[in-house]
Structure 1
Amino acid sequence: MDDKITIEPLTQSDADGAYQVFEATIPAAFDQEGIGSLLDDIQGEITQKKAMIRKALQAKDNIKASVFFLVAKMGDVIVGTISYGPCGEEIRECTEGRLNDIGELGSLYVTPDFQGQGIASELIVALVTELQRRGIKQFCLDSGYRIAQKKWQRKFGEPYVVANNYWGEGTDHMVWLCEVQDFIVK
């Protein structure tokens, strides 16, 4: 198997591979957060991500598609995903609607065996490059996962909003607002 990572737009033939990424990474993320017992929430998150894939594939011919995905592949195997689309409910709530017109970087998942190799960073660079190509100036992202929040603070700086105790006592939700130009690799 070729060990070079390629990043490309999602195609219909990638759907099952992307689903497998969600099925491997979402339960692992919940486990890392100490909430692996929330099986209904895990399944709900996986189902929501799969629906986003289907929506992105249906809209693929539309340049103004509401959602699009990029996938990271090692050979023919999908090892990561990233998406861009309308901001989600948590961002709308946490920002009191201030970012409703800003698209969201989301669905950034890398399978556990390939984490820590820079694949997520490569996916982010590929996505912001595509956003710049499309003339998009800003994006937002959010996270309720503490481990991801630490990573995002290192990568994207201080959050635009911190919604304290959003997920219950001691569990915050963070939202970042970023300028595309700040993340273009020159």
Structure 2
Amino acid sequence: MATKSILRIDTSARRQGSVSRDLADAVIARFPEAEVVTRDLAADPLPHIDEGFVTVTKGSAQDTLSDKQRAMLALSDTLIDELQAADTIVIGLPVYNFGVPSGLKAWIDLIARAGVTFRYTEAGPEGLLTGKRAIIVMASGGTEAGSPIDFATPYLRHVLGFVGITEVELIHADKLAFDAEATIAGAREQVAGIAA
């Protein structure tokens, strides 16, 4: 699948010296012809869902919505539009305390909508965002990708698959606290191997 449009999701709290941001730059550089839309969840944080949002996504009548509910629904629609428009999603994933950053969880909560990005069928849930590719760029100080204490990458793979994105590649710069130079060099080799 040729990559023509990329949605880049940055989640690192660090603006300078962020390994996940630097490696995401390297991944994006592999697709010089692609149009890139960037959603920086650290620079422009998303609100966490609340009772009002849960209520509105359960099918409340439009004329009963508060201004806050309308704004949250419009934001969710915008995020989903960005996701639907991209054929490749690049997600910078620093691992914080064995899991995903809270900003990324907020994004997930706003884009995972029944009847929009997935639906329930008699055969079980079905993702509606098919035909897309995701590249996860993981960085961690001490959590090894795929290890028993890595709760971030399996969760993110599951969520992406749940909404229909099953072609998922992982670039990992894990265990940076032990040998950052070798770890980053290894991750850059992984980036070089990505099919453009």
> Which category of TM-score, normalised to the shorter sequence, fits these structures?
0.3 to 0.5
Larger relative contact order (CA 8 Å, sep ≥ 6) = 2
Radius of gyration: which is bigger? 2
TM-score, with length taken from structure 2: 0.32
